[in-house]
Amino acid sequence: MRGREHWSSTVGFVLAAAGSAIGLGNVWKFPYITGVYGGSAFVLWYLISVIVIGLPVILIEFALGRHTQLNPVGAFRRLAPEKPYWLIGAMGVMAGFIILSYYSVVAGWTLNYLFKAVITGFKEYHSPQVAGEAFKAYITHPVKPVVTHLIFMLLVILIVARGVRMGVEWINRILMPVMFFIILILVVRGLTLKGVSPERSAFQGLQFLFHFDLRQLNGRAMLTALGHAFFTLSLGMGAMLTYGSYLHEKENLLKSALWIAVADTLVALLSGVAIFTTVFALGFEPNKGVGLIFNVFPAIFSQMPSGEVVAVLFFLLLLIAALTSAISLMEVVTAYFVDERGWERKKTVWVWGTVIFLLGIPSSLSSGVLANLQFLGMNIFDFLDYLSFKYLLPLGGLLMVLFTLKRWKIASFLQELSRGGPNWSGKEKIFTALLVLSAIFVTATFVAGIWGIG
Ligand code: TRP
């Protein structure tokens, strides 16, 4: 058997991990929740959330991965062979299957809209109503969403099959700089748009996003920020653990984690600026997620100066964000079969990539022919989303923190953290306190999820 592959450089690793973190969540979820939950007051609390629960958990995942040089299941099994701790990893691999199966469906929608943008520039979508009907016709169609889901999964498979360096690292090295560049163009375009009337301007978009309102920052808002900090950094299912397992020991884990958190937050904020300056300058209403992206934006592009070009850039941005996150989900599944089952990489990716495609078919039809297939009052797509982000990820993250505190021990964690960076040994007390605090916060988001808050 060949030895484990490793990233060719720190930059390659940081770009790949940032690619995983920066996903659809940054571009369509963060800007909206910021706007409605109190603007810059929410942003401040979100930054605290990233520091209190994001950083500790990402460091634990990196350390577990690098220390064991194994996939999530193997990592726990190696460190604690006598007890079923490996179930934490198994839950992560399962979450990888589930999340990728429906993430790929939405990614397929963005791919479809990228084609549309290139071909038509959305010229015929004069209003959100017209665009909304076209979107509905597409997602309820019995074949089209399955086809776009298939094309997207093929992209993921082709890239991941090439390996860690030649596939995952290679594509992130190309796409991440492109993505940053696109965001900058969209931000400048948004800020320089002239408002359609004296009452509507790009500046109002900034106000919506950054107004400081402590009253809007209620308990629900605070829990939403905590949950989002977790989700946006791809934590709780071993994605970062898997990427960490391809690291050499000379890497400074804390420094890399900080870079990733900063890049992720920056992209979220800049997406917010690009999106809401544009929405407000053109006189539209801020709206949530799917509706904003697929109903309001096509209408905006049909009216906006140089709208055809901006439309292509915008959907390309979404596609890149989705693709680099999907790759990390596929890599978790792949690492498991390669490490634990001794499968060959190419075979693993093709076989399980196909299975994930098949698993995603019900989700891709969940607005159309399978709309009546309901679980707890949700269609299959919403149900899987709910199950993974409300339960599997926070629970996985909590168990990882508890595992580090109780079983792996803080001293071993700090020893791993210190390899390739400043020496943290002797700081056990502070780190224990930090981990206990993050465990409390993760538990809060988890419990809030069960109670339907946030
Ligand atoms: N971070 C991704 C986003 O912001 C979504 C995500 C959550 C994810 N958990 C993940 C991606 C695990 C890959 C692996 O959209």
DSSP letters, 289-348, are HHHIIIIIHHHHHHHSTTHHHHHHHHHHHHHHHHHHHHHHHHHHHHHHHHHHH---HHHH
Tens of pLDDT, residues 304-353: 988 999 999 999 999 999 999 999 999 999 999 999 999 999 999 999 99
Is 454's pLDDT higher than 60? Answer: no
What is the pLDDT, as a whole number, of residue 1?
46
Exposed, middle or buried by CB within 10 Å (0-12, 13-18, 19+), for 342? Answer: exposed
Sign, CA torsion 4/7/13/15: negative
Q: Does the Cβ of 24 fall within 6 Å of ligand 1? A: yes
If you average pLDDT over every residue of the chain, what do you get? 94
Q: Does the Cβ of 23 fall within 6 Å of ligand 1? A: yes
What is the pLDDT, as a whole number, of residue 15?
98
Q: Which of 63-72, 205-214, 265-274, 383-392 has the lowest mean pLDDT?
A: 383-392
Tens of pLDDT, residues 63-85: 999 999 999 999 999 999 999 99
**Ligand 1 atom having least distance to the Cα of 393:** 9
Q: Does the Cβ of 231 fall within 6 Å of ligand 1? A: yes
Q: What is the mean pLDDT of residues 246-273?
A: 96
In this structure, the residue with its CA closest to atom 3 of ligand 1 is 23
Nearest to 398 by CA among 445, 431, 362: 445
Ligand 1 centroid to residue 292 C-alpha, Å: 20
Tens of pLDDT, residues 357-367: 999 999 999 99
Reported pTM: 0.95
Sign, CA torsion 126/147/318/158: negative
What is the pLDDT, as a whole number, of residue 8?
96
Helices 170-191 & 202-210 angle (0-180, nearest 10): 120
Cα(277)–Cα(185) distance, integer angstroms: 13
R_g (Cα) of the chain, nearest Å: 21
Q: What is the mean pLDDT of residues 244-252?
A: 94
Residue 29, SS3 per DSSP:
helix
Tens of pLDDT, residues 101-133: 999 999 999 999 999 999 999 999 999 999 999
What is the pLDDT, as a whole number, of residue 133?
96
Q: What is the mean pLDDT of residues 185-199?
A: 93
What is the pLDDT, as a whole number, of residue 203?
95
Torsion angle, alpha carbons of 345, 346, 351, 357, to 10: 110
